[in-house]
Amino acid sequence: MKVTVCIGSSCHLKGSRRVVEGLQYLIGENNLKDKVELGGTFCMNNCQNGVCVTIDDKSFSVSPDTVDDFFKTEILGKV
Amino acid sequence: MEHKTDYIYDKNGKLIYKFDTKVQYIKYKVLREVAREAWAGTLFENVLDIPKMIVPGKEPTMRCCVYKERAILGERVKIAMGGDKNNPNVIEVIETACDECPMGGYEVTNACRGCLAHRCMDACRKGAISFDHNQKAHIDKSKCVECGLCAKSCPYTAIMNFKRPCVSACKVNAISMNEDKAAKIDNDKCISCGACVYQCPFGAITDKSFIINVIDMIQKSEQNKKYKVYALVAPAIGSQYAYAKLGQVISGIKELGFYTVIEAALGADMVAWMESKELTECGDFLTSSCCPAFVDYIHKSFPDMVEHISHNLSPAGTIARYIKSTDPDAKIVFIGPCTAKKMEFQKEEVRPYIDSVITFEELQALFDSKDIDIRDLEEDLLENASYFGRIFARSGGLADAVQQALKEQKLDDFELKAVSCDGIEACKMALLKKSKGALDANFIEGMACVGGCIGGAGCLTHGEKNKAEVDKYGKEAIEKTIAEAISLVKLPEEQHS
């Protein structure tokens, strides 16, 4: 599973660092480092809905406050 | 009447000059017209008409006659289109524009009053000054070493230095004159810093432009659908385009057709992090590798010191490599104050990552070639780097960032003894001392331009206040530490591209 977080200016301001840190932590805690590849990209052309995250080709809007829920439903449940 | 230089009003009605000099302005007009034709796809049909478009009348405004003006403009058009392909240097002389300034060195002028004091003679340590029967001073050229002490001592400032501005500007002694007395650049010495470009009062030395390559790259991307064109902006941008907001400049860049805009300063954060580690590992001595002119200078003038150059790519190269690891089809254009960057991106180790380089001057020309008035645009965002990455733009910033990175990595047991060299002369002094074992330092921050990148030849404006502007832009960064800024990216050792 490839999870990509937008780290462009707009998403950065909306908290992409905290989203990345949250995901990194959760992936580590759940021993998913071999199964989930976490990466960054600059701008997904959907700045209004930042922080933009994609899992494989599917797009999501995540905020630092919703990282836990997002991880549970979209990553942990599906990996 | 033509204005001294191009000016513009900011939103408060304050008049602001876009450029420092009329030389920059004329260069800009050529770039703008070339770009206008390139966007329209009519460059090759209309290229010969551009000089007349810029100088339409019969009255000369710059030279002896409009025909010479147009001939020189024709040369400028060629350089705006990439210049002489057989000359590997991006800095090129326009021989017809060179005024063949006198270059006799120190001479006594008519202002010499034949005084009694003869301070000039006392000041001269070489005994080169004598006096004729009118008590007027003369300099014996066979003895004179051009130290200038006589000129400083004369109360009438009667002794002048007839040195060409290009030669004075070139601190690496790469400029001499050819058989026709026009300036000639020795490519084995030239570091492409652009000091001569900015200083020549006739605009006879200029940097080749890649704007038409950039326009082509943007157009062929078909609105970034075929591949994405990224703009990588140097942190010195914080001191430029004073007539508008930085966010408006970012909007303008996107308006030109770039997919997105990224701070090269994030690459600077990465470099500071890795360079501080490299320094503690190598232990004894390292020089920075950020300034391409400085690196080139070490290669050309201090080859024995090459092994001490940090192995990091420059900040632009470092972040561009990361961008390409996330998007292998990306095209990356660096936009900055630097003419030497136009050499750097062609180097084997940088070529895979950076596809083209333009200057802030050229960006202004691109805006105006599409009639984009950035003052009318909404403010976009630029938020990738920390304070420390951003202050790389000014002298001293790199050393501050390395110190900070040591602290953040808990490596501050290592005592950083940094020397920040402001300008290539200071670099030369430090490297000379180091090569003789007489420099008490383990790190040299080398910046070829005085002031750092904000003094670069490709800046629209230069001045004292630019340093304060860069610091202000640095403080606006939401990330306060280097670790925070780089936590979003992978350092090269973690990248698997």
Contact B63, B76 (CB under 8 A): no
For chain B, give the percent of residues with pLDDT over 90: 87
Q: Is residue B344 part of a domain?
A: yes
Q: Of B249, B255, B252, B259, which Cα lies nearest the Cα of B331?
A: B259
Query: What are the φ and ψ backbone dihedral angles of B309, each rounded to 5 degrees?
Result: -70, 135
The minimum CA-CA distance between A73 and chain B, rounded to whole Å, is: 23
Q: Is residue B86 part of a domain?
A: no
pLDDT for res B15: 84
* Domain co-membership, B283 together with B360: yes
Considering only the beta carbons, identify the residue of A4, A9, A20 that sits closest to B384. Answer: A9
Interhelix angle B22-40/B211-220, nearest 10 degrees: 30
**Rounded CA separation B462/B473 (Å):** 16
The residues near B476 (Cβ < 8 Å, ≥ 6 apart) are none
Pairing mode, if any, of strands B7-9 and B159-162?
A: unpaired
Q: Is residue B158 part of a domain?
A: yes
* Domain co-membership, B196 together with B230: no
Interface contact A21, partner B, CB < 8 A: yes
* Domain co-membership, B153 together with B215: no
* Domain co-membership, B233 together with B182: no
B479/A21 CB distance under 8 A: no
A12/B478 CB distance under 8 A: yes
**Rounded CA separation B216/B211 (Å):** 9
Q: What is the DSSP letter of B386?
A: B
Q: Is the pLDDT of residue B497 over 90?
A: no
Q: pLDDT (tens digit, 9 = 90+) per residue, A42-70?
A: 999 999 998 999 999 899 999 999 999 99
Q: Which residues of A touch B266 (CB under 8 A)?
A: none
Buried b (16+ CB within 10 A) or exposed e, B402-419: bbbbbebeeeeeeebebb
Q: Which residues of A touch B230 (CB under 8 A)?
A: 42
**Most A CBs within 10 Å, among B319, B380, B488, to test the A interface:** B488
Q: In total, how many domains does chain B have? A: 4
pLDDT for res B17: 83
**Rounded CA separation B495/B493 (Å):** 6
Whole-number average pLDDT of chain B: 94
Inter-CA distances, B119 with B107, B110, B114, B116, B225, Å: 15, 17, 11, 9, 72
**Rounded CA separation B339/A56 (Å):** 41
Interface contact A39, partner B, CB < 8 A: yes
B326/A9 CB distance under 8 A: no
Structure tokens at B332: 């990356």
CATH number of residue B194's parent domain: 3.30.70.20
The residues near B287 (Cβ < 8 Å, ≥ 6 apart) are B294, B298, B305, B308, B309, B310, B431, B443, B444, B445, B446
Q: Which residues of A touch B488 (CB under 8 A)?
A: 7, 12, 16-17, 20, 40
B484/A17 CB distance under 8 A: yes
Q: Which residues of A touch B323 (CB under 8 A)?
A: 42
pLDDT (mean) for A16-37: 94
CATH number of residue B489's parent domain: 3.40.950.10
Of the pLDDT bands very low, low, confident and very high (cuts 50, 70, 90), residue B397 is very high
Q: What is the DSSP letter of B47?
A: G
Interface contact A20, partner B, CB < 8 A: yes
Interface contact A9, partner B, CB < 8 A: yes
pLDDT for res B14: 85
Contact A22, A71 (CB under 8 A): yes
Q: pLDDT (tens digit, 9 = 90+) per residue, B10-22?
A: 878 888 888 999 9
Q: pLDDT (tens digit, 9 = 90+) per residue, B363-386?
A: 999 999 999 999 999 999 999 999
Q: Is the dihedral of CA A17, A21, A27, A33 positive or negative?
A: positive
Contact B193, B448 (CB under 8 A): yes
Q: Which helix (H) or strand (E) holds B473?
A: helix B465-475
Burial of B388 (0-12, 13-18, 19+ CB in 10 A): buried
Q: pLDDT (tens digit, 9 = 90+) per residue, B45-60?
A: 999 999 999 999 888 8
Q: pLDDT (tens digit, 9 = 90+) per residue, B73-127?
A: 999 999 999 999 999 999 999 999 999 888 888 999 999 999 999 999 999 999 9
Range of the domain at B158: 105-162
The minimum CA-CA distance between A69 and chain B, rounded to whole Å, is: 21
Inter-CA distances, B357 with B215, B226, B345, B460, B483, Å: 12, 21, 7, 16, 28
Contact B261, B413 (CB under 8 A): no
* Domain co-membership, B59 together with B146: no
Report the alpha-carbon angle B141-B123-B159, nearest 5. Answer: 55
* Domain co-membership, B46 together with B191: no
Q: Which residues of B touch A21 (CB under 8 A)?
A: 487
DSSP lists the bridge partners of residue B484 as: none
pLDDT for res B490: 79
Of the pLDDT bands very low, low, confident and very high (cuts 50, 70, 90), residue B3 is very low
Q: Which residues of A touch B487 (CB under 8 A)?
A: 17, 20-21
pLDDT for res B4: 40
- Give the long-range contacts of residues B299-307, CB within 8 A, separation 24 or more: B300/B172, B300/B188, B300/B189, B300/B191, B301/B172, B301/B189, B301/B428, B301/B431, B302/B431, B302/B435, B304/B435, B305/B431, B305/B434, B305/B435
**Most B CBs within 10 Å, among A2, A4, A9, to test the B interface:** A9
Residue of B nearest to A16 (CA): B488
Instruction: Return the residue matching tokens 């060409």.
Output: B164
* Domain co-membership, B204 together with B215: no
Q: Is residue B87 part of a domain?
A: no
Q: Is the pLDDT of residue B496 over 70?
A: no
The CATH number, out of the four listed (2.40.110.10, 3.40.30.10, 3.40.50.300, 3.90.1150.10), of the domain defined by the range A2-76: 3.40.30.10
Interface contact A10, partner B, CB < 8 A: yes
Q: pLDDT (tens digit, 9 = 90+) per residue, B169-205?
A: 999 999 998 988 899 999 999 999 999 999 999 999 9
Q: Is the pLDDT of residue B493 over 80?
A: no
B262/A8 CB distance under 8 A: yes
Q: Which residues of B touch A54 (CB under 8 A)?
A: none
Q: What is the ipTM of this complex?
A: 0.95
B261/A16 CB distance under 8 A: no
Residue of A nearest to B379 (CA): A10
pLDDT for res B235: 98
pLDDT for res B389: 98
User: Is B6 or B211 the better-scoring residue by pLDDT?
Assistant: B211
Q: Is residue B239 part of a domain?
A: yes
A7/B384 CB distance under 8 A: yes
Of the pLDDT bands very low, low, confident and very high (cuts 50, 70, 90), residue B1 is very low
**How many C-beta atoms surround the C-beta of residue A41 within 10 A?**
17
* Domain co-membership, B193 together with B220: no
- Would you say the pTM of this structure is higher than 0.90? yes
Q: Is A60 helix (H, G, I), strand (E, B) or coil?
A: strand
Q: pLDDT (tens digit, 9 = 90+) per residue, B290-328?
A: 999 999 999 999 999 999 999 999 999 999 999 999 999
Q: Which residues of B lie closer than 8 Å to A, measured between beta carbons? A: 230, 250, 259-262, 323, 326-327, 380-384, 478-479, 484, 487-490
Q: Which residues of A touch B250 (CB under 8 A)?
A: 9
Q: E-strand spans in chain A? A: 2-6, 37-41, 52-55, 58-61
A42/B260 CB distance under 8 A: yes
B383/A9 CB distance under 8 A: yes
Burial of B164 (0-12, 13-18, 19+ CB in 10 A): buried
Q: What does the domain layout of chain A look like in residue ranges?
A: 2-76
Interface contact A37, partner B, CB < 8 A: no
Q: Is the pLDDT of residue B495 over 80?
A: no
The minimum CA-CA distance between B332 and chain A, rounded to whole Å, is: 12
**Most A CBs within 10 Å, among B237, B327, B383, B473, to test the A interface:** B383
